[in-house]
A and B are shown apart, each in its own frame.
Chain A
Amino acid sequence: MNWEQLLELAEMLAGAPQHGETRGRPQQTYLRKANSAAYYAMFHAVANSNADTLIGTTLAVRRSEEWTATQRALNHGIAKSQMLNKSRMSTFHADIQDFSETFIALQVQRHDADYNPNPDTPPTRTQTMRNVQRARDAIKAFWAVSLQERKRFATHLLFPRRN
């Protein structure tokens, strides 16, 4: 999944007027799906980075079973848990720490957006746009971190240490 296209989709949804109108506020469903797409952009960005750093980046490698299996190995709950590991996370580059905190923040809102029929605060347009901007900024900064550091992060996310 292409994270940039997911963010474009999120922006389209958050900026879309209601059906039949040329202007106006987007409907709740649009905003909810925009928030969901913003989180999934982050999820796929880090999943792709995991596979790229651990398996490889050539076109042929990216079509291999190994790359696909590694890309799909990322688990939402385990990723969150690993990102909350304060002592380990403090050893990573600040941009990876910020990516992780943003990932967790958007994961919470994504779950509310997709499943909670009565959220405490329904998403608004500016809030949703801000989430999309935060996701884009976090992903770009994350991808700018060295391959070796992202590889270390990939092993942290995919291979939790045994107690």
Chain B
Amino acid sequence: MPAAQTLSPEAEQNVAQIVRLDLEPITAKGISISEIRIMPGEDQDGDPYHHIIVIYSGNDDLLDPSWLNGFKRRNRDELAKWGVHITTESYVEDGEWSQVSNGSSYEG
């Protein structure tokens, strides 16, 4: 497996687009995605991974966990084309994201 690196801007854009397209059944119902971030990392075994962070607004209940769990199965081959193999995903409400970003909340 290739070592994890920060994705090129093109790869990052394409991976974000894969995520957006996959979430279309959910966004069509009223969830709005404001940003998708892809952060590289290395897991406990030294394997590279990419943390896909979806920042959204709207009704939480629309984020069907069953659909979210199938993301990788549906998109494994497309993601691999852009060097993304192991992923972990986070879905963060945008109000919380702004608090995380400025570091004012969630301390302690």
Residue ranges of A at the interface with B (Cβ–Cβ < 8 Å) = 18, 25, 27-29, 31, 76-77, 80-81, 84, 86, 94, 97-99, 101-102, 104-109, 111, 115, 120-127, 129-131, 133-134, 136-138, 141
Contacts and interface: CB of A to CB of B under 8 A. Distances in A.
Nearest to B37: A121
B50 to A, nearest CB: 10
- The binding surface of chain A is classed by DSSP as helix
B51 A94 contact: no
Nearest to A126: B93
Please indicate which of the listed interface residues A18, A109, A120, A121 has the most CB atoms of chain B within 10 Å of its own CB: A121
Contact of B92 (A106, A124, A133, A137): A124
Interface of B: 39, 41, 43-45, 49, 51, 53, 60, 63, 65-66, 68-73, 76, 85-93, 96-97, 99-100, 105-108
Closest 8 CB pairs of A and B: A101-B72, A137-B65, A108-B88, A105-B88, A124-B96, A133-B65, A98-B69, A126-B93
Nearest to B43: A108
- The binding surface of chain B is classed by DSSP as mixed
B76 A124 contact: no
B65 A130 contact: yes
Contact of A101 (B53, B60, B73, B108): B73
Contacts of B63: 130
A32 to B, nearest CB: 11
Contacts of A137: 65-66, 69
A105 B86 CA distance: 8
Contacts of B68: 130, 134
A29 B107 CA distance: 9
B65 A106 contact: no
B91 A130 contact: yes
Nearest to B93: A126
Given A111-B44, A134-B65, A134-B68, A127 B90 contact: yes
A121 B90 contact: yes
A77 B45 contact: yes
